[in-house]
Chain A
Amino acid sequence: MKKNKILVSIVGMVLVLALILTGCGQKSTVVKEKYPTKPLNMVIAFSAGGSSDIQARLMQKYWNKYVPEQPWVFNYKAGAGGAIGFGAIAQAEPDGYTLGGLNVPHMILQPMAQGAQFSIDDFAYISQVVTDPQVLAVEKSSQFKTWKEAIDFAKANPNKLKVGIVGTFTGHHMMLLDLKDKTGIEVTQVVYKGAADQNAALLGKEIDLMIGNVNDVMRSMENMSILGIASEKRNDFLPDVPTLKETGLDLVSDIRRGFAVPKGTDPEKVKFLRDSFKKIQEDPEYLADMKKAGQPTDNMSGEEFDKYVHEQQEYNKNLLTKFNLLK
């Protein structure tokens, strides 16, 4: 009797197991996996609390509105001006569960000049979110009332004009090179580690002129005069500042931020991300939040951003070669 019982229970267990397994098999063929099925890793290449972080957090609020199924998990990989983080995105698994923020021209210049471990072709671009144009600023009581006066001074007194920039092989550096190239002036280049030190130096009159971004100069605006902005059109945050273009200098220089996944990610997933980001970026509440935070919105699709990045690479390569800064 006992033996029978054991036999029956074994057979019964095997049957149940078989049914479960076939049931599972059926389940997986009937229901298709809907992306995303787990949280996404959002890699930020700068420190927490900075501009890039704040902007991503704003987007996170709206991602949770449009894609409530899975959240973003922030992963900070700061260092080398962003190169570490960009490299991390490029080298991540292209399974659609790692995405990150990119900054131009940082991501172009770092592989070109500093041996960074990634290239602009390692990414599938999702979209561009921000364009932060460079500006030329002086201290309020400076002798220069227009940027032309500053350039004339520099032409008459070579190497006497002190121009402050943040970092070498950065957007500021490129703009200064572009400026020197287009006007032929010789200036003293003074490099700072961050916008805070640079702003302090301008207000303390250590430098005569500085190249800054809209985001940075907004904070000390009452003590500075912004002489010109290097963009195509006047900027909403600085409506009284003339563009360099309209006053005679064809110079456009800015810092852009966008998002991407590693190259090789399933095109379906890339399309999903591009569509979701498009919804977020066109949401009027998102746009209002961005304005309140002082972030200059400029939406561009993934394909357009890709094209832009490649064009900028050519442009910067030529500029650097002209000044003998590329080995």
Chain B
Amino acid sequence: MLEHIIQGFVNSFIPFNFLLIIAGLTGGIIIGALPGLTATMGVALMVPITFAMNPISGLVMLGAIYSGAIYGGSNSAILINTPGTPSSVATTFDGWPMTQKGDAEGALNASLLASAFGGVIGTLFLLFLAAPMAQLALKFGAPEFFWLCIFGLSTIAAMSQGNVVKGLISGALGMTISTIGLDPLEGLPRFTFGSYSLVQGIEVIPAMIGLFSFSQVIILVGSKKKFIAAYKGKKGATLRTAKILWKKTKANLLRSSVIGSFVGILPGAGGEIASIISYNEAKRWDDNKCNFGKGAIEGVVASESANNATIGGSLIPMLTLGIPGSAVAAVIMGALLAHGIQPGFKIFINNADLAYTFIVSLIVVNIAMVFVGSVLIKGTAKVLNVPTSYIGVAIVALSIIGSYAIRNSMVDVMVMIFFGLVGYFGGRIGFDTGAMALGIILGPIVEDNLSRSISLAGAEGSVFKVFFTHPISLLLIILTLVSVLTPMFLSKYRCKKEAGAND
């Protein structure tokens, strides 16, 4: 295997391939940063271009775009409080407050370095532990997914600063909204009020763009601020941030990347779930948990390293079993098939050069990302130097285009505007837009797996048996209980301020 790895490195540095890596990263980061354009879209658009080149180069480019896009989402999350991709929702929790405090540069560089680190860890799992992790992925059935999402939702209770009830209501509202459309089991329409345009349900991305971006524009326009936030570009920011991360966040980085890699292997669970769970764990184990949500760099680090680690994770079942771990992995698998290459364990024997070069190129991509990213940060951070009046207009235009681009439908633009108003007015009465976004994202997965588990119960004999007797389910249930109960009973795990408020 070692000679394949070395050959992989050599192949990655062939001028054409290296050029593709840089181009793919640049394009990917920009696509990720623009709200409404997702990683899936970016990769899918570039697949036909790969038909003209040899499969190895094509895959290397797609991998670079994938990595760039998942990192890129953090840029808009930090600068304008809008996740550029759903994987960056958790990055807004601390990234945006950091910008408001004047430390946008710190946040941007932290997310860059954390993303690169997470990407490398995820790729290492792919390189050395693909087989056992793929087997683990198969053990996740409907009940396990259900409990995993409940665990993810339990983070809402931990996230809401001070007012758990409002957080839970926001989350519940989000889940209710996600039920609009076709029921997963019978395929019958719900809550569509007779209108066919609602039959497909509420698309997550326009809802998120509305909740975060559009409502932010309304707030910005209403405020008297000339600029979104103060910003002074200082030289050597990347190196300085690297030193801070090394000092403060080693355990965080490692833990979040591992969480991301494992969540990534599950088809149907991706960056969104991974980043939320890591954020929550980072908060739980940090001594200064009160700072989370107010601009703690640890929050940005946790979220971004996790979501980039899911990249390597999602490719594990795709390459070894032909089962993609994420939508982008599915598109890449389509590209592989179109080139006539069959995914599966045999790929490491019959197409060893291709498989190992692809995997190793991801490591090169993540290292190159630090350089490409720091150059681009200088550009994107300039957004903060543009007066709010122009930014507001630009965000509105981007929001509309982004929402429309999902599936060329004006319904999504209406949804976006509606949620913008919901986010704005809701924010004024204390609703948690993050919790609502979580509800909208996780709701369908929870319901899908709940109904499927109940179907399975028909064959297994009892509902209780299906939900409470599988080992992995039990583990997740225990984790959820621990996560929810320890802050309540052990003051060590409570934020000091919250403890005061609860008494």
Interface residues of B in 375-414 (CB under 8 A from A): 407-409
| B408 x A80 contact (CB < 8 A) | no
**With A48-B44, A162-B459 known to touch, is A79 a contact of B409 (CB < 8 Å)?**
yes
A294→B340 CA distance, assembly (Å): 8
Any B CB within 8 A of the CB of A201: yes
**Do the beta carbons of A206 and B141 come within 8 Å of each other?**
yes
Which chain B residues lie closer than 8 Å to A206 at the CB level?
141-142, 456
Name which of A53, A200, A205, A292 has the most chain B CB atoms within 10 A of its CB.
A200
Residue of A at shortest CB range from B48?
Answer: A57
What residues on B are CB-neighbors of A161 within 8 Å?
459
User: Are B138 and A204 touching (Cβ within 8 A)?
Assistant: yes
**B458 at interface, CB cutoff 8 A:** yes
State in angstroms the CA–CA spacing of A190 and B185 once bound together: 8
B487 on interface, CB distance cutoff 8 Å: no
- 8 Å CB contacts to B: which residues of A161-181? 161-162, 167-169
Over the window 197-208 of chain B, the binary record of Cβ atoms lying under 8 Å from chain A Cβ atoms (1 yes, 0 no) is 001100000000
| B337 engages A191 (CB within 8 Å) | no
Cα(A15)–Cα(B241), bound, Å? 76
Residue of B nearest to A218 (CB): B342
CB < 8 Å neighbour of B342 from A47, A167, A192, A219: A219
Residues of A within 8 A of B452 (CB): 190-192
Expressed in whole angstroms, the Cα–Cα distance for A117 and B192 within the complex equals 14
Interface presence of B180 (CB below 8 A): no
- Looking at the assembled complex, report how far the CB atom of B86 sits from the nearest CB atom of chain A, in whole angstroms: 16
Q: Which of B185-221 contact A (CB under 8 A)?
A: 185-189, 196, 199-200
Q: In the docked arrangement, what's the CA distance between A52 and B449, Å?
A: 27
Q: Which residues of B contact A53 (CB under 8 A)?
A: 44
CB contacts (< 8 Å) of B340 on chain A: these are 292-293
Smallest CB gap from A57: residue in B: B48
Cα A189 to Cα B456 in complex, Å, equals 8
Residues of B within 8 A of A196 (CB): 267-268, 323-324, 330
A76-B408, A204-B140, A206-B141 given as contacts; is B455 within 8 A of A114 (CB)? no
User: Within the complex, what minimum Cβ distance (angstroms) separates B168 from chain A?
Assistant: 27
A92 within 8 A of B: no
Answer whether A197 and B342 are a contact pair too, CB < 8 Å, given A49-B43, A161-B459, A188-B455: no
Interface of A is mostly: mixed
Separation of A182 and B44 alpha carbons in the complex (Å)? 41
Complex: A204 Cα to B340 Cα, angstroms = 26
Decide: B185 and A168 in contact? CB cutoff 8 A.
yes
Instruction: Please name all residues of chain A whose beta carbon is closer than 8 Å to the beta carbon of B337 when the two chains form the complex.
Output: 54, 218-219, 293-294
Shortest distance in angstroms between B175's beta carbon and chain A's nearest beta carbon? 17
Question: Using Cβ atoms and an 8 Å threshold, which residues of chain A touch B185?
Answer: 168, 191
User: When chains A and B are docked, how far (Å) is the Cα of A278 from the Cα of B333?
Assistant: 30
Q: How far is the CA of A79 from the CA of B187 in the complex (A)?
A: 14
Assess the B333–A219 pair: CB atoms within 8 A: yes
Tell me which of B244-252, B294-302, B343-351, B425-433 binds A: B343-351
A83 to B187, CA, bound (A): 13
Give Cα A114 to B458, complex, Å. 26
Contact with B along A144-172 (1 / 0, CB 8 A): 00000000000000011110000111000
When the two chains form their complex, are residues A114 and B199 in contact, meaning their CB atoms are under 8 A apart?
A: yes
Tell me which of B139, B200, B268, B321 contacts A80 (CB under 8 A): B200
Q: With the chains together, A76 CA to B113 CA distance in Å?
A: 36
Q: Which parts of B318-355 form the interface with A (CB within 8 Å)? A: 321-324, 330-331, 333-335, 337-338, 340, 342-346
Rounded to whole angstroms, the CA-CA distance of A78 and B333 in the bound complex is 19
For residue B184, which residues in chain A have a CB less than 8 angstroms away from its CB?
191, 193
Establish whether residues B43 and A77, one from each chain, have CB atoms under 8 Å apart when the complex forms.
no
Interface contact A54-B334, CB-CB below 8 Å: yes
Contact A188 B456 (CB under 8 A): yes
Assembly CA distance A50 to B51 (angstroms): 15
Most buried by A among B48, B323, B333: B323
User: How many residues does chain A have at the interface if contact means C-beta atoms less than 8 Å apart?
Assistant: 52
B317 at the interface (CB under 8 A from A): yes
Q: For B409, give its contact among A83, A84, A197 (CB under 8 Å).
A: A84
The reply to whether A80 and B199 form a contact with Cβ atoms under 8 Å apart is yes
Whether the pair A188, B458 counts as a contact (CB closer than 8 A) is yes
Q: B41 on the interface (CB 8 Å rule)?
A: yes
Does B23 reach chain A (CB closer than 8 Å)?
no
Most buried by B among A114, A115, A196: A196
Residues of the B chain whose Cβ atoms lie less than 8 Å from the Cβ of A79: 200, 407, 409
CB-defined contacts of A204 to chain B, threshold 8 Å = 137-141
Question: For the complex, what is the distance from the CA of A199 to the CA of B344, rounded to whole Å?
Answer: 13
Q: B334 contacts A222, CB within 8 Å?
A: no
Per-residue CB contact flags for chain B residues 145-156 toward chain A (1 = under 8 Å, else 0) read 000000000000
Complex contacts, A50 vs chain B, CB 8 Å: 334
B408 touches A188 (CB 8 A): no
Complex CA distance for A51 and B338, rounded to whole angstroms: 9
Q: Which residues of B sit under 8 angstroms from A220, Cβ to Cβ?
A: 321-323, 344
Task: Say yes or no: A115 contacts B456, CB within 8 Å.
Answer: no
- Does B45 lie at the interface of the complex (its beta carbon under 8 Å from any beta carbon of A)? yes
Q: A48-B45, A200-B321 are in contact. List 11 more A-B contacts (CB 8 A).
A: A48-B47, A49-B47, A54-B334, A84-B407, A190-B452, A191-B185, A201-B142, A205-B138, A222-B346, A293-B340, A294-B337
| 12 cross-chain CB contacts under 8 A | A49-B43, A80-B182, A84-B200, A162-B456, A190-B455, A196-B324, A201-B142, A203-B323, A220-B321, A221-B342, A222-B344, A223-B321
Residues of B within 8 A of A (CB): 40-41, 43-45, 47-48, 51, 137-142, 182, 184-189, 196, 199-200, 267-268, 317, 321-324, 330-331, 333-335, 337-338, 340, 342-346, 407-409, 448, 451-452, 455-456, 458-459
Give residues in A with beta carbon < 8 Å to B.
47-51, 53-54, 57, 75-80, 83-84, 113-117, 159-162, 167-169, 188-193, 196-197, 199-201, 203-206, 218-223, 292-294
Which A-B residue pairs are the 4 nearest by beta carbons? A219-B322, A204-B138, A168-B187, A48-B44
